[in-house]
Every structure is written in C-alpha cells, then in structure tokens.
Amino acid sequence: MSVALFVSDLHLCPTRPAIVRLFLDFLADQAATADALYILGDMFDYWAGDDNLAEPFNTSISNALKALAGRGTQLFFIRGNRDFLIGADFARASGMTLLDEPYLATIADVPTLLLHGDILCSDDTAYQEFRREVRQTAWRAAFLGRPLPERQAQIEALRERSEQAKRGKSDALMDVNAGAVSDLLRTYGYPRLIHGHTHRPGQHQHRVDGYPCERWVLGDWYEKGSYLICDERGCRALPLPPSKA
C-alpha cells in the first residue's frame, strides 16, 4: 500500500505557536508513517528569501522537515502565493523536492494533478496580473537582491494592501473559475486534481468532455489542522486532533 498525505495553507508564523506545534506533531506522527508528504503551498505565512533560513523559527521548521525526510518519508513542495520565494537552499535544508506547478504525479496508480490553486482563481484579474509580475525571473532576482529587512517591510505592506483589497472582493471572485478548472483538467488528460489556496475544503466531481474528474480542495490551518490521505482505496480528508502540547 502506498500512502501519500497532502497539506496546504498552514500559514506558519512565530505568532501562531499552537498551529506550529500542531504541524510539528503532524510531521512526527501521521506524516512519519506515510510514504510521501506533499505540501501544496502557503506553508509559511510569508517567505522573504532563503537567506532568512538561519532565523530560529525558520530553522525549527526546516529541521523538523529534514528529520521526517531522514526517517524515509519523501517530501515534495509546491510554492504558494505567500511562499513563492522559497528556493533551492530551503529545499535542500529541509530535505524537500521542489515541484513546479501544475505537477502531474502518480498517486497510488492514479494520475493526480497538484497545484497551489491560485492560478484557478482567474476571475480575480487584478491578482492574476500581480502574480504574473512577481513570478518573473527578473522581478524575483531584483527583489531578492535587496536587503532582507527592506524585503520584509515591503511584504508586510503588500499583505496589508491585499487584506484591504480582499474586503472589496466577492466570494465568487475569490473562488476557482469553473472554466479554468475544466481547461486544466483537459490539458492534463482528465486527472484527479488536488489543490489548496481558497480555504474552502471539499470534494468536487467534475465532468469534462464526458470524463469524470475528482477535485479535492485542502483546508487551511487557521483554526485547526487537517490533511488529505490518498492510497489505493482513494482519498479521504481527515481532521487532526488538537496539539498534545
């Protein structure tokens, strides 16, 4: 039996110690018995660059991931909109393999397409424009070339602006676009789809060109933890018990 676990949208940060504890417990417990753990973005509330790896909070997370990898669980990471600046140094320190999205994996013999999910929110054209800009190699190089404190300050300012903008955006705008989902499923040969980002956990059935496709949306870890487990029997979403600490 091959068992893969999926999480996303943990938004780990030093000011949310209960969720951090829950994640460390999850790595030591549920994830340690799995063959693979896929983290589908927004593991960190934000990531200013791999040169901030030595910061104690970041080190505690990368050490826990590295320990899990050392015990034999394969670790894969897809960048989210909050931590798209995670790079090869962090991946190496954490024993993770970075995957470019969308990534077509074979999970317990089922073709399964993995992505963070923000590219599916195509109705939010202002966000998509911002995303295109910051994902360019030149933008990334220029941003990472600036001093760390300056980057951190700019990210804080950006987040403030994004929170304000979100208040003016409708629920429909913030969810996936059905056409974008169909197009993606068609392009990749009608696979199973797993993503996060929208913080609207659930299981959806799509029919694209007559093909049935299952779509799983992962939950966020703001109030409680949860994960998706996929094996030969299929996928199930499971809640995590509260932290033992």
Residues found near Mn ion in the complex (CB under 5 A): 42, 80-81, 197
Q: Tell me how crowded residue 183 is: count the other CB atoms within 10 A of its CB.
A: 14
**β-strand partners of 192:** 112
d(CA 148, CA 138): 18
Which residue reads 């202002």 in tokens?
A: 126
Tokens of 239: 């809640």
**Least distance CB 77 / Mn ion (angstroms):** 14
Around 148, how many Cα atoms within 13 Å sit in the side-chain half-sphere?
10
d(CA 4, CA 109): 11
Minimum CB distance to Mn ion smaller for 73 or for 220: 220
Minimum CB distance to Mn ion smaller for 25 or for 220: 220
Minimum CB distance to Mn ion smaller for 127 or for 190: 127
Q: Does a cis peptide bond (omega within 30 degrees of 0) precede residue 102?
A: yes
Q: Are strands 192-195 and 211-217 parallel, antiparallel or unpaired?
A: parallel
Minimum CB distance to Mn ion smaller for 82 or for 151: 82
**β-strand partners of 230:** 4, 235
**Least distance CB 197 / Mn ion (angstroms):** 4
**Helix extents (H) in the chain:** 17-28, 56-70, 88-94, 125-134, 137-144, 148-167, 178-187
**Least distance CB 222 / Mn ion (angstroms):** 12
Minimum CB distance to Mn ion smaller for 62 or for 81: 81
Residue number with the smallest Cβ distance to Mn ion: 197
**Least distance CB 200 / Mn ion (angstroms):** 12
The edge-to-edge listing of strands for the beta sheet with 234-239 is: 96-98, 74-77, 36-39, 4-7, 226-231, 234-239
**Least distance CB 132 / Mn ion (angstroms):** 16
Phi, psi angle pair for 202, to nearest 5°: 170, 175
**Least distance CB 196 / Mn ion (angstroms):** 7
Minimum CB distance to Mn ion smaller for 11 or for 73: 11
Minimum CB distance to Mn ion smaller for 167 or for 244: 167
**Least distance CB 158 / Mn ion (angstroms):** 14
